[in-house]
Chain A
Amino acid sequence: ELKVEQNPLFLSMQEGKNYTIYCNYSTTSDRLYWYRQDPGKSLESLFVLLSNGAVKQEGRLMASLDTKARLSTLHITAAVHDLSATYFCAVDVGGSEKLVFGKGTKLTVNP
């Protein structure tokens, strides 16, 4: 059974600081997704990582994937308040298109 672990689950940081969210998964997969969820809303796609060594960046967020280590990271650079949200990683189950989600990281960026 595929398990996906995120840490930290809660992250409070100051504006302007950098931090990294980690996503570990238990079985082989070549597809990893990062999503953002605002309170009361559905998921907004941030990144799709499809191969070992994949790195994608959008604004202050950068995601990477190491399939050998079964690890993905979401790095936040110079955080701003607008980044406050819950971030989920999700892993495709053996190419089935079904996703298993981590528990989410609730990020709060304080002025």
Chain B
Amino acid sequence: GAVVSQHPSWVICKSGTSVKIECRSLDFQATTMFWYRQFPKQSLMLMATSNEGSKATYEQGVEKDKFLINHASLTLSTLTVTSAHPEDSSFYICSRREGVSYEQYFGPGTRLTVT
């Protein structure tokens, strides 16, 4: 069964509004989770590393004030897209790593459309 869930699975919002996406680790307390973005017909790009109890680490070129990440508990990380614009429309996927197997589990993804 799924080990990482995301909510919502899809969302449509108007330009200028903010959207929050939740990522839950269902069976494992994850101190670290990851957020990726995938544009249509492209590969996945890592946006940031979400660290429980501390600030997220953002990849180069990702605006930390625009993509707010909060990892308030060992099972929940949230990504808030602030003041969304149409170019933020994308598929956002979170992941976490299994403890000793190095397996990386991905959530089902959230498709964001900004109109």
Binding site for B on A (CB under 8 A): 31, 33, 35, 40-43, 45, 48, 50, 88, 90, 92, 97-104
B 54-83 to A, binary, CB cutoff 8 A, 1 in contact else 0: 000000000000000000000000000000
A40 partner residues in chain B, CB cutoff 8 A: 111
Distance between Cα atoms of A48 and B45 in the complex (Å): 19
Distance between Cα atoms of A42 and B42 in the complex (Å): 13
A50 close to B93 (CB less than 8 A)? no
Binding site for A on B (CB under 8 A): 32, 34, 42-46, 49, 93, 95, 97, 101-109, 111
Residue from B42, B46, B93, B95 within 8 A of A103 (CB atoms): B42
A31 partner residues in chain B, CB cutoff 8 A: 102
**Smallest Cβ-Cβ distance to A44: which chain B residue:** B106
Q: How far is the CB of B86 from chain A (nearest CB, A)?
A: 20
**Smallest Cβ-Cβ distance to A96: which chain B residue:** B49
B93 close to A98 (CB less than 8 A)? no
A42 close to B107 (CB less than 8 A)? yes
Distance between Cα atoms of A88 and B95 in the complex (Å): 15
**Smallest Cβ-Cβ distance to A92: which chain B residue:** B102
9 contacts between A and B (CB under 8 A): A40-B111, A42-B106, A45-B103, A48-B103, A90-B104, A97-B32, A97-B49, A98-B34, A101-B44
Q: How far is the CB of A14 from chain B (nearest CB, A)?
A: 24
Q: How far is the CB of A83 from chain B (nearest CB, A)?
A: 19
A99 close to B104 (CB less than 8 A)? yes
Q: How far is the CB of B24 from chain A (nearest CB, A)?
A: 14
**Smallest Cβ-Cβ distance to B45: which chain A residue:** A101
Residue from B43, B46, B102, B108 within 8 A of A50 (CB atoms): B102
8 nearest interchain CB pairs? A42-B109, A43-B106, A101-B43, A101-B44, A42-B108, A103-B43, A97-B97, A42-B106
**Smallest Cβ-Cβ distance to A43: which chain B residue:** B106
Distance between Cα atoms of A45 and B108 in the complex (Å): 12
Q: Check A43/B43 contact, CB under 8 A, given A48-B103, A98-B34, A99-B104.
A: no
